[in-house]
Structure formats: structure tokens, C-alpha cells
Structure 1
């Protein structure tokens, strides 16, 4: 079984003032230091137990790829230690280890042996590798003629030809087509069931939340936050827009979930309710029932343009539906300080049974990246129950009319 232990890891690169300083440091007598250290990562510690799946997220330059390279041994940490047990398969940079002038088949043998497989094992696995990669006759062509998607297909097929104890994946899967991404994640889920430890770097919020047990947010080379994927992704989402003198706050709700609230505070949601057709506040909704999401916003300064957005998320935090008043061509212009605005959003709850949450955003456009007045996760929790509809599966109520013709 695979386990990863990262203890007080740091990474620094030497910076020399001139091109001759490096040579002087090597050849001149004495131990005078002629470089400065640029730290790109410091004091990173975490453990991933056997069979766990952990996602690593962060903005570009946060240190994600550097951390993975140290874990896989491509580069060494300056401080701290990394320990791993079990057989490791890693898919980092696209086509890493492939020689462009060799054929796909030849590269399979080379990459497979780097993973610890013997030539006869690779020969035995080759039909499965070819079938999973789905690149056809290109397997006999030089890799230099491959598209990025073809390289990713072949690299993933080799890396997962034999179930590893630890599987490490960088952003490489993002270049594949939708069909292969689904197939790849199905294989990853199957490995998880069989006990493979998974470490994945991805900006795909749904992938992180659906696959991983926990997530780690890296920021400027340090761990900013670690915990359940939903709360970490919410914090990351707030961090992305944190360039407008915003405040980011996380509080624990009565049911133990972590609510993230961010924004400048120039406008806030002061009340949110889910109402039935009679105007009564409700917490449970029947499948297909007509409801009103009533949101009251107060402005604390003059705002030239105000937009309200909301999203409905399932229990894993995955977005079921989202819209805003900019997309609906209903922004409010020239809002005055102290003004209250009441939004009544009527819709049919054509969603499956289960618990759902509402996220609310107040901004000036169709994105919270500009003028994020308030972004509030878990603003409202409600349950959908099925009182009078036929039993069905899934997260959407798409009841068909079925016509059958028999000859």
C-alpha cells in the first residue's frame, strides 16, 4: 500500500549576480558564497495515508509542479524530507520521458521500464495499452507527429497499465478530449476502489470534489489551507478574486460545514429564503415544485451597476445550475448607499432528491473576478424530496414521454 509523508519541505534555487559568479564559486579557493537563495517553497508538511485521494490546487506559480517533482524525485528538496512506500506511477509534464524520434511502441517499452516493468511484461500488456490509448496506427509513428492529446493518451495508458500503489497526476489530463477524460477518470476511480493512493493537481473543481477525500491549497510556496475539498475549493475561489481589498472569512455552520464568505462588503445579502407558492418559508421541496428564491441585498455605498448571481450545488459541492441578472439582462443601475433591493427568483425545482445548497454572488458583471462585493457559499441549505413522482435516478427531473412501437 502506498503512503506519502512530506515533512518540512522547502525548495530554493541559487541566483548569481553575474554569469561569472557561478564559476568563481566553483573554482576559487575558500567557501565564500557568491549566490542568493530564492525560496519557491517553504515549510510544507502533510501525510497521505494508503488509499486516500488528495487534490493539490493553487494559482499558477504557487508551487504545485515543484512539489510534485520533488515527490517523484525529479528534483530534490533543499530542506526537509519526503518518504513514499509502494510502487509509484507519475504523469507530470505531457509526454515526459518520450523520445520524439522513436515510435509510440518503442516509447512504451522505454517508459514502461522506467516504471519498473520488464520487457516481457510490457509485451504482454501492449494490447491493453494500445486499446486504451486509442491512437490506432500512430503507435508505429514517431512521437514527434503526435498531437498533445495523443501523447497524453499514450502516457496515461502506460502509467496506468498496471495498478500502482501511488498514482500522481499533474494537469496533463486537461488536454484530452471529453471521451478520454471520462475514460481516464473511470480508471482512476477503479484504482481508488482497489486501494491506490492518489495525488492529483487540477484546476477542475468537479474532479477534485468528486474524486478526492481532501485538498491542499498552495499559495506562494506554502500551504494556505488543507481540509475537505468543498471548503478548500471555496476558499481558493475567493482567493482568485482577492485583489480588491477584500476580506475572506470562513465560519462553521450549525451542521459542521465550512462556509466561505468573501468580498469588499460594499453590498451584502441581508436575507435569503426559499418560499413556496403561498409565500411560506420552506426547507423541504418536492421534486418539480414551483419555488421562489428570495434574496434581499443592501448597498453600503453608491454602486454604478449591481448584479446578483446564484448557483445551486449538490452535497459534493458540484454546480447543478447557476445564472445571474447580467446573463438575464436585468442589472440594477445607480444603486444608492442604504438602498435595499429584493430579488425574487422563481423556478421549478426539477432536480433529484437529496440535500442542496445555494451560493450567492453580488458583483458588477457576470463574474466575481471584478468588483466582488460579496460571494457567499452555503447561503441556504434545502432538501428535495419525492412525494408524488415516479422513482428516478440522478440529479435532474427530466421525465420523458415514452412511446413504444412494436412490429
Structure 2
């Protein structure tokens, strides 16, 4: 089984004041260093146990790719150490290890041997690799004529042709088309369920939250947050807003159920209460699929606000967005809000959700995004449960009531029609 252990990992590059300083340092080694160290990563430590799936997130330049390169050994760390057990398959930079003048088939044999497979084993797996990559006759064409998407298809197919103990994936999948991305993530999920240890870097928060059971946030080459994917994603989302709002406050609280609530904003306006009400106007904890409900949000302005927009988002149990909108999109912003004013919003909609537990996040802002004039963003403002008490059995996170029509040749009847034709008492 695969395991990854990272301890005190750091990476620094030498910076010289001018081009002759490097030569002088080589020629006169006893004259002392003539460079300064530029640290791009410092003191990063974490571990992955066998079968665990961990996602790494952060803005561009946070050090995500550098970290993966040190873990896979393509870049040597300046400080710290990395220990990996088991067979490792890594998909880092697009086309890494492919020779542009060789055909796809030839590159498969080279890449497969770099992954530790024998020639006979690669030959045995070649039909499956070709079938999964779906690049057709291009498999026997030079890689230099491939598009970036075709390179990614072939590279992923080779790296995952045989289930590895450890699978490390960088942003390479982002260049693929939607169909192949779905296909690739299905394979990743299946390998993870089968016990493969997964380390993945992605800007796709839905992928991280659906695949991973833990997430790590990097910022400025340091590990700033580690925990459940939803908790880390909420914190990351708040930090993005914090970069745009210098006076923004960011807090996290542990709720009674153990989940971590993230609240961020300037505090110029705040949500004082949130309730999901039934048709009688009463709050409940469990609702039937498809019943009409009202989301009641009470807001208090603590300062004069030129423009106030309320947004809300329904999330599933993994923290993935199910539906969200705001009063800017519905053309209902409120202008010239007075300090101390209290406002009540009432949002009516049918609860067309599948059975499960959901949460509601609220946002008070000045525009259509919380990244500008973020007065308050509140995750896990309300948690509620949906149960199927009266509808036909179905699967999924949405209730979309169907009307199914069936046309058959004359003389043939459906099972329902046959049952209807049986005389009573028979």
C-alpha cells in the first residue's frame, strides 16, 4: 500500500546580483557566497496514509507544482525529506517524458518502462491504453503533431493503465475536454476506492470535494490550512475575498455537529437569523421532497451602505454548490441602506432536492460577487435535511418530476396497460 510522508520540506533558489557574481563564486569559492536565497517553499509537513485521498489547493504561485515535483523527485528539496512507499504513478507537466519525434506507441513503451513496467507487460496493456486514450490512428503518429488534449489523453492512459499504489496528478487534466475529464475522474475515483493513495492538485473545487477526504491549502509556499475539503475550501474562498478587501475579518467556528463554519467580511452588515419555513410559516429540520418552502433571512446594517445585495447558495453534504443566486442577478438590490436598518428577505421556492443533508451559505455584498465589497459571507448558516416521504423512488440530488410517454407498435401493450385490463378479483 502507498504512503507519503513529507517533513519540513523547503525549496530555495540562488539569486545573484549580476551575472559575474555566479562566476566569481565558482572561481573564488573561499571568498564567501555571492548570492541570496529566494525561498519559494518553507517548512511544509504532512502525511498521507494508505488509501487516503488529499487535494492541494492555492492560487497560482502558491507552490503546488513545486511541491509535487519534490515529492516525485524531479526537483530536489533544499531542506526536509520525502518518503514514499509503493509503486508511484505521476502525471505532472503535460507531455513530460514524451519525445516529440517518436510515435505515441513508442512513447507509451518508454513512459511505461519509466513507471517500472516491463516491455511484455506494456505490450499486454497496449490495447487497453489505446482504447482509453481514444486517439485513433494518431497512436502511430509523432507526438509533435498531437494537440495538448491528445497528449494529456495518452499520458493519463499510460500513467493509470495499471492501478498504482500512489497516484499523483497535477493540473494536467484541466486541458482535456469535458468528456475525457469525466472519464479520467471516474478512473481516479475507482482507484481511490480500491485503495490507491491519491494526491491531486486542482483548481476545480468540485473535483477536490467529491474525490478527496482531506485538503491542504498552500499560500506563499507555506501550508496555511489543512482539514476537511469543505472547511478548507470555505477558508480559501474567504482568503480570496480578503485579498480584495483590506479591512475584511475572517473567523472560523466549530459548530455543535463538529463542522467548521467560516464567516468573513467587513461587518458593515450581518445576517442576524436564517430560517427555512414550511407552508404554515414554521421552521422544520426535515422536509419532504418537492414541498414549497420559504427561506427567511434577516439582515441588520451596522453602517450606511450605498448598495446591498443578498446572495444565498444551497450546498450538498460535500459542500458542493447545488444552486445559488443573489438579488443583483434578480435585479433587486437595495440602495442607500441606513445604519441600524433591519431588512427581512423572504425567498419562496419548491424544495426539488434529492434525499440528503444540505446547508445554506449567505452573502451580503455590494455587487454580484463577494470578492468586492464583501460585508459578510457566512457558510453553514443553516443546515436542513430532505427525505423522500411521498414521491416515487429516484436517485440524485434533484427532483425533476418526469412525464414519460411510450409509443409501441399496434397490438402490443405495456405492463401497466396489461395490469389495467385484468378483471377485478382475478
> When the two structures are superposed, what TM-score results if normalisation uses the length of structure 2?
0.94
SS in 1 for 2:82: strand
5 Å matches for 1:251-270?
A: 251-270=253-272
CA distance in 1, matches of 2:44, 2:220: 11
Q: Which residue of 2 aligns with 1:324?
A: 326
CA distance in 2, matches of 1:192, 1:281: 40
| Distance verdict in 2 for CA 1:29–1:70, change over 3 Å | closer
Q: Which residue of 2 aligns with 1:152?
A: 152
| 1:352 aligned onto 2:391 | no
The CA deviation at 1:345 is 0.5
Q: Which residue of 2 aligns with 1:91?
A: 91
User: Quick one: which of 387, 390, 393 aligns to 1:388?
Assistant: 390
Q: Which residue of 2 aligns with 1:60?
A: 60
Q: Which residue of 1 aligns with 2:123?
A: 123
The CA deviation at 1:111 is 1.2
CA distance in 1, matches of 2:240, 2:407: 54
CA distance in 1, matches of 2:366, 2:133: 45
CA distance in 1, matches of 2:318, 2:379: 13
Q: Which residue of 1 aligns with 2:296?
A: 294
Q: Which residue of 2 aligns with 1:285?
A: 287
CA distance in 1, matches of 2:390, 2:114: 58
Q: Which residue of 2 aligns with 1:372?
A: 374
Q: Which residue of 2 aligns with 1:309?
A: 311
Between 360-369 and 22-31, the greater mean CA deviation after superposition: 22-31
SS in 1 for 2:30: coil
5 Å matches for 1:11-22?
A: 11-22=11-22
SS in 1 for 2:101: coil
| Structure 1 unaligned spans of 5+ | none
Q: Which residue of 2 aligns with 1:27?
A: 27
Q: Which residue of 1 aligns with 2:242?
A: 242
CA distance in 2, matches of 1:190, 1:256: 29
> When the two structures are superposed, what TM-score results if normalisation uses the length of structure 1?
0.98
Equivalent pairs counted in the alignment come to 407
SS in 2 for 1:164: coil
Q: Which residue of 2 aligns with 1:333?
A: 335
CA distance in 2, matches of 1:85, 1:74: 17
SS in 2 for 1:242: helix
The CA deviation at 1:175 is 1.2
CA distance in 2, matches of 1:139, 1:303: 61
CA distance in 2, matches of 1:42, 1:392: 50
SS in 1 for 2:408: coil
Between 317-326 and 25-34, the greater mean CA deviation after superposition: 25-34
Greater radius of gyration (CA): 2
The CA deviation at 1:126 is 1.1
Between 278-287 and 40-49, the greater mean CA deviation after superposition: 278-287
SS in 1 for 2:242: coil
CA distance in 2, matches of 1:355, 1:189: 22
CA distance in 2, matches of 1:216, 1:130: 34
Superimposed CA distance per residue, residues 354-385 of structure 1 (whole angstroms, 9 cap, x where no aligned partner): 11100111111111111111111000011112
CA distance in 2, matches of 1:403, 1:29: 85
SS in 2 for 1:238: helix
CA distance in 2, matches of 1:145, 1:168: 27
Between 359-368 and 274-283, the greater mean CA deviation after superposition: 274-283
CA distance in 2, matches of 1:299, 1:193: 48
Q: Which residue of 1 aligns with 2:167?
A: 167
Superimposed CA distance per residue, residues 118-170 of structure 1 (whole angstroms, 9 cap, x where no aligned partner): 22221111111111001111112221221111111011001001111100000
SS in 2 for 1:129: helix
The CA deviation at 1:405 is 2.2
The CA deviation at 1:17 is 0.5
Between 107-116 and 156-165, the greater mean CA deviation after superposition: 107-116
Q: Which residue of 1 aligns with 2:113?
A: 113
CA distance in 2, matches of 1:46, 1:390: 46
CA distance in 2, matches of 1:287, 1:163: 40
The CA deviation at 1:406 is 2.4
CA distance in 1, matches of 2:137, 2:342: 65
SS in 1 for 2:81: strand
Q: Which residue of 1 aligns with 2:7?
A: 7
CA distance in 2, matches of 1:310, 1:349: 15
CA distance in 2, matches of 1:335, 1:94: 51
Q: Which residue of 1 aligns with 2:413?
A: none
